Structure formats: C-alpha cells, structure tokens
Amino acid sequence: MILPKNAALLSLAALTLLAPWASFAPAAAAQSAAVAPASMPRVASVDPRFQSYNVEMVEVTGGRFWKPYASRSEAAAKTPSANQPVGMDPNLYEYRPPIDLSNARLRKLAAALGPAYLRVSGTWANTTFFQNSDDPAPATPPQGFNGVLTRKQWKGVVDFSHAANAEIVTSFSVSAGARDAAGVWTPAQAREFLAYTKSVGGRIAAAEYMNEPNFAAMGGAPKGYDAAAYGRDVQVFRAFVKQEAPDMIFLGPGAAGEGTQLVPASMHMLSSADLLTATGPVFDAISFHFYGGVSSRCAMLGPASTAAPAAALSEEWLARPDHVQAFYADLRDRFEPGKQLWNTETAQAACGGDRWASTFLDSFRYLNQLGVLARRGVQVNMHNTLAASDYGLLDEKTYEPRPNYWAALLWHRLMGTTVLDAGASPAPSLHLYAHCLAGHPGGVALLAINVADKAQSLTVPASERYTLTAKELETKVVDLNGAELKLGANDALPELKGTSTHPGPLTLPPTSITFLAIAKAGNAACN
C-alpha cells in the first residue's frame, strides 16, 4: 500500500468525518498569505486543446474492455479472448457493444469541453483491421488481426469529432496482418484508412505509429519484437506519412510505465531510450502515457504499483506527474531537443481505474495533474476515457457526468492557454496554479487545491469564486459553491455561476478545490 507522507491524512474515514466543515463561512485557518495576480509572470503556454480525452478503439468496434467493478453481467470467463492484451486474466474484461457516438447527451457533454483532441487508439488498436467496405464486420477477423473496424463505425467517429469540436488523434495496426512475408510493416491498411477518413470529411490531426510500443508483446506485435524492429518500422511509417499525410503531427513513441514504479522489474518492457535510439530524430512531438499506478484489477503487479484511497491526497501521489514529466523531458532533451511533449493517455490508474476513480476524491489528482503538466509546458493531456469503465469522465451506461467531468468543465471555462507562475504556496497541502483567464484580457484564473483536512486562507483581489466540495470524498455527487452540480431538463448544463468575493482573506474549506476568476487582475502577460 502507498502510504501518505502527511500524518494528518491518516485515512479516508478521517477525511470523510471532516467533510461537513466544507462551508463557506469564516473558519479558523492558518495565517492568510497574499497572492499577486497582477505581477505573475508567464512561464509556459499550452495547446488550445490541452484538456482532451480518449475513446478507445475497442469502444468504437465493440469488444472486451475493462469490466466496471459494479458490473455483474457476465459469468466468469474460462479462456481469454483473442482481442484482449496478451497474458491478462479474461475476467478483468467485459464485452460492450460499439459506443453510440450519435447519442445526443454524449455529444452535448463532449462539445462543452471543445476544442479538444479525440484520441481513438489504445492497446486494441494495434491489432484492428480496417474493413474498407460497407459490409458488416465478419464474425472472425482476417488472419493476423484480432478485431474489425467498419466504415460505418469510423464514419461515426468522424461525425462525432465535428459535433464535439474534437480533432482526431489515432494509431495504426501493427500486428502480423499488417506485415509482409519478412515481417516488415506495410502501409496498405493505413493508406486505405487515411483515404477513407478524407473521403468522409475527416482529418487525422496527429498519430502515433502504434500504441505503447514498450509493451509490444502485450500489445499484439509479432513475437520477439524489439527496439530495432520498431526503428525499422517507424522509418517505413514516416516515409508513408510524409507522402500521404504531410500535415499530420507524428507523435512518438507513446510509451507508458516509465518514470515511476508502475510495473515490476521482472516484467519485460522495452525502454523509451532504446526506442528513440533506434528511430533517430523523426518525431514532431514526444508523446508519453502517464498513470500514477495500476488499479486493483492489476494488483498482481505488486503493492508498489497500486494506489489506495488513503494515499489519494498525499504529496507523494500528487507529485508523480512531476516525476514522470521530468523523465520524458530528459529523454526529449537527449533525443529530440526542442520538441513538444504530449501526454496522450492518462487517468487515475491504469487497468480501468480504481473504484474511487469515478468519485470526487480523484478530482484533486485530476486538476493537480493538469496544473503541474501545464506549468511544465506539456502541450496536451488526454484523459482516458470519455465514457468507459471506472475512470471515464462520464458513466458508460447513462453518460451522467462524474466529478472529474465537472472539474474538466470548470478548467475549460476558466483556465486559458497562457500559464503563469502562481508563486510559492503558503503550505505544502495547498497547491496553487495560475493561467490567464479565458476570454478576459489582463485577467487571471487561480486554481487553489486544498488537500488538507483543515481550512486554509489566501488573501486575494476581488474575484468570482467557484468552490467544489462534497459531503463525502468517495462520492459521485459534487457541489459548486454549496449547490449540487447536475444536468437540467433536456440535459442542459448548469450555469456554473461564481460567487463574488471582496478583496482580502478568503477561506478555502477543508479538502476543497477553488477556482478564482480575477477579471481585472491587470496582468500584462495576459493582454
């Protein structure tokens, strides 16, 4: 079990008992520290589509994805499906039919986060055959593939991307069926896929050659696939892209599990350093996947890899994005200096997320990670997933928003693309981030994440306050300024109205998240 460093965070139960303190009346708090938004310097900028999301390829085609903890729909599976990561317990997965990307609620809620990137990839994409005809998918995929993507399904992705103002990011098939007799990757499938996308008005904005090449064996690559084979295939892929899609951003390598103890040393994993050595400087941007741990579904990887609820507010857990970003930034500087960093897949924990991934408890990690990575200049952060398994922003059956969706919506509404230095925090348990206020020249948006079990105070200028709290931390019900956030009639989004605050000390409730919109900050970096 990962233990919190701060003795005040002894258990989730203790935090839950303190939740009723989360009111906005004056409370006993530490001496107030002042922030100076007018003089906060610019430290970075991010892509306008910084906050983005994934819809896994297996969701589009239908297939066995991470089984939600609450599901009881299937009896125990005895044998693994061909279309699942190699070597994994089949009982960790559950079949779901293709996602209905025409669903009005799903489109409305996704559009509210736009502009964004929509990444359709994942482990299953590595072995998916694109059927370039209008026929239904066959019962059995062609030899060398484990799944089938139809024209109709991909047209649904293109239409959804337009409706949600979300540019498409993807990866390509790399399994045996996509190779010649010598085992070298061929662009035949990719060429048909790109041509069809263009024919229906779509565009691939960016792509990785394959999903997580450092887990090549688990991901469906040929037996014995190594860094040299990856480097050889990437050269073929790059030449193809330069001819067929010269405007597409070539991302890579898109590895996972490095920079933190995500997998045990005994688990065979190719290193990004070896992959980048094999490819040479070919990528337009360096992509990586970040998970702070694995969910209890993958507890077989060892206790050091898992994440307990009691650690969710610990400084060690919240610092993991810093460590992983630093790891990949070092690789970037060594192999592809000057290139952007993109985090193309991330969530509370790999393997579908833990039970608490869908609760308010994870919103502290979610927003803190956005703040950390933006401050470090990471251009894009793609949450996995929009609406599948326990780490989805939306419930996969009802598309009801979960707490992280509301957190994402507030970030989208308030945090602009220019990142500022918020200055030193008055306490380690108070995390401060600042951006230029979206849509307000000279304005500043301040994010204050109080992970302590006591109120804290900041002295701030006149502002509009948006404070997220919950009566319990492991709940899917979250309040904004004391009122529950929920959809209205015809799935109308709530107004997300701030509360005006006067200049001076502002009390931040225990275990709360507060955005402050300071429209008249007068910050020259935000003009």
Q: Summarize pLDDT for 464-492 with one digit per residue, the tens.
A: 999 999 999 999 999 999 999 999 999 99
Q: Summarize pLDDT for 420-442 with one digit per residue, the tens.
A: 999 999 999 999 999 999 999 99
Q: Sheet of 456-460: strands edge to edge? A: 33-34, 456-460, 504-508
**Residue 23: its pLDDT value, please?**
39
Q: Summarize pLDDT for 57-69 with one digit per residue, the tens.
A: 999 999 999 999 9
Q: Once rounded to an integer, what is the mean pLDDT over residues 23-31?
A: 46
Q: Once rounded to an integer, what is the mean pLDDT over residues 247-276?
A: 89
**Residue 81: its pLDDT value, please?**
63
Q: Could you tell me the pLDDT band of residue 171, with boundaries at 50, 70 and 90?
A: very high
Give, in words, the CATH class of 51-416. Answer: alpha beta
Q: Once rounded to an integer, what is the mean pLDDT over residues 150-174?
A: 98
Backbone φ and ψ for 377, nearest 5 degrees, come out as: 85, 10
Q: What percent of the chain has pLDDT over 70?
A: 91
The domain over range 12-45+420-526 is classified in CATH as 3.40.50: no
Q: Once rounded to an integer, what is the mean pLDDT over residues 148-167?
A: 98
Query: Residues near 132 by Cβ (< 8 Å), separated by ≥ 6?
Result: 151, 192, 193, 196
Q: Which of 28-37, 221-230, 313-322, 393-402 has the lowest mean pLDDT?
A: 28-37
**Residue 78: its pLDDT value, please?**
57
Strands (E), 333-473: 340-347, 380-384, 415-420, 430-437, 444-450, 456-460, 463-469
Q: Summarize pLDDT for 1-16 with one digit per residue, the tens.
A: 232 333 333 333 333 3
**Single-letter amino acid, residue 194:** L
Whether the per-residue pLDDT at 20 is higher than 50: the answer is: no
What pTM did the predictor assign? Answer: 0.92
Summary mean pLDDT of the chain: 91
Q: Is the peptide bond before 115 cis (omega within 30 degrees of 0)?
A: yes
Q: Which of 75-89, 169-183, 198-212, 273-287 has the lowest mean pLDDT?
A: 75-89
Q: How far apart are CA 193 and CA 524, in angstroms?
A: 46
Residue of 244 and 70 predicted with greater confidence? 244
Q: Summarize pLDDT for 373-391 with one digit per residue, the tens.
A: 999 999 999 999 999 999 9
Helix axes 151-163, 104-111, angle to 10 degrees: 50
Whether the per-residue pLDDT at 51 is higher than 70: the answer is: yes
Q: Summarize pLDDT for 73-111 with one digit per residue, the tens.
A: 655 555 556 676 766 777 889 999 999 999 999 999 999
Comparing C-alpha atoms, which of 386, 389, 382, 372 is closest to residue 324? Answer: 372
Q: Once rounded to an integer, what is the mean pLDDT over residues 315-319?
A: 95
| 69 membership: H or E segment, kind and range | none
**Residue 74: its pLDDT value, please?**
56
Q: Could you tell me the pLDDT band of residue 71, with boundaries at 50, 70 and 90?
A: confident
Query: Tell me, what DSSP letter sits at residue 8?
Result: T
Matching CATH topology for 12-45+420-526 and 51-416?
Answer: no
**Residue 32: its pLDDT value, please?**
82
Paired strand residues for 307: none
Domain boundaries, the chain: 12-45+420-526, 51-416
Q: Once rounded to an integer, what is the mean pLDDT over residues 132-139?
A: 94
